[in-house]
Structure 1
Amino acid sequence: MAEVSLDVEAPIDAVWTVLADGWSYAGWVVGASHIRDVDTGWPSPGTRIHHSVGPWPLVIQDTTEVVRCEPSRLLELDARLWPAGAARITITLHARSASLTEVRMAEQVVRGPSTVLPKSLQDVMLIPRNRESLRRLSALARGRAQTPFH
């Protein structure tokens, strides 16, 4: 399982606000290029983000579904990217202080052709991508924390 973490200089509620906004997904998830729709009730279990992945015109249209949600604590997703497969992504939040949140992201390929890749190769591909995703999430959360209306 590829796992990364980052201390975000924002309150846990600001980080959760970004995660709970399905329309912001393409703003922080590396590779997501366009959000086509977000199910009403996101991020309740079973709701989905309908997204495009990749650069135009080579985009793949797929979905990411919420498996488990504990507001301001945990978001577990089933992220599809066919034909490559699907991954289980677990994002956990831990308040280190009123203005500092540890964000941990763990990703594991669970279905499709990518499951045959050795774990070390999966890590080489996933860890840098997920580190950048957390940096982008951090920037959005810091911006939300500084904005009086969110």
Structure 2
Amino acid sequence: MAVTQRVISAPPEKVFGILADGWTYADWVVGTTHIRDVDPDFPGVGARIHHKVGPWPVSLHDETVVLRSEPPRRLVLRPKLRPFGEMTATFTLTPDGAGRTRVTLREDTSRGPLLWVRTKINDLLLHGRNRETLRRLADIAEKRGERHESPGLARQA
């Protein structure tokens, strides 16, 4: 399992608002290249983001499913990487001082052929990818957050 943390200079509600806006997913998730559609009840449990993964011409159409949603503290997603398998990604948001959030991202292979090659090397690769993912999330929350305010929290109410 890869565990990555970053402190973001934005309150948990703002950070969760970005996570809750499925249309921003390709802006901060490394490897996602295009959002095709977002279920209207995202980030409700069972809702999906329909996206493309990987560079053209080998990009794949796939989806990410919400497994658990506890605004503004936790979001658990299942990114699918068919035909290779599925991952489970857990974002935990913890207040860390005035207007700051500690984001912990735990990601692990949960299904499919990727389970057979699960090693420390894979964990290191995931950690590197997730470090960049959290850097991008922080960039949006800290510098451009006003343009990415999400109705996601309102949908959860």
Q: TM-score range by the shorter chain?
A: over 0.9
Task: Show the counterpart of 1:44.
Answer: 44
CA distance in 2, matches of 1:118, 1:50: 26
For the Cα contact (< 8 Å) 1:14–1:144, is it kept in 2?
no
**1:17-67 CA distances to partner (integer Å, 9 max, x unpaired)?**
110100000000000000000001100000000000011121100000000
Q: Which moved more, 1:110-119 or 1:65-74?
A: 110-119
Task: Show the counterpart of 2:154.
Answer: none
Change beyond 3 A, Cα 1:100–1:128: same
**1:103-143 CA distances to partner (integer Å, 9 max, x unpaired)?**
00000101111101133022122110000000000001113
Task: Show the counterpart of 1:13.
Answer: 13
CA distance in 1, matches of 2:63, 2:88: 13
Alignment of 1:1-150 (within 5 A): 1-145=1-145, 147=146, 150=149
CA distance in 2, matches of 1:115, 1:97: 38
SS at match of 1:25: helix
For the Cα contact (< 8 Å) 1:37–1:50, is it kept in 2?
yes
Give the deviation of 1:148 after TM superposition.
8.5
Q: Between Structure 1 and Structure 2, how many residues are aligned? A: 149
For the Cα contact (< 8 Å) 2:69–2:75, is it kept in 1?
yes
Give the deviation of 1:144 after TM superposition.
4.4
Change beyond 3 A, Cα 1:75–1:39: same
CA distance in 1, matches of 2:138, 2:18: 9
CA distance in 2, matches of 1:53, 1:148: 24
Identity over aligned residues, as a percent? 45
Change beyond 3 A, Cα 1:118–1:46: closer
For the Cα contact (< 8 Å) 1:14–1:142, is it kept in 2?
no
If the length of structure 2 is used for normalisation, what is the TM-score?
Answer: 0.90
SS at match of 2:130: helix
Unaligned runs of 5+ in 1: none
CA distance in 2, matches of 1:72, 1:6: 16
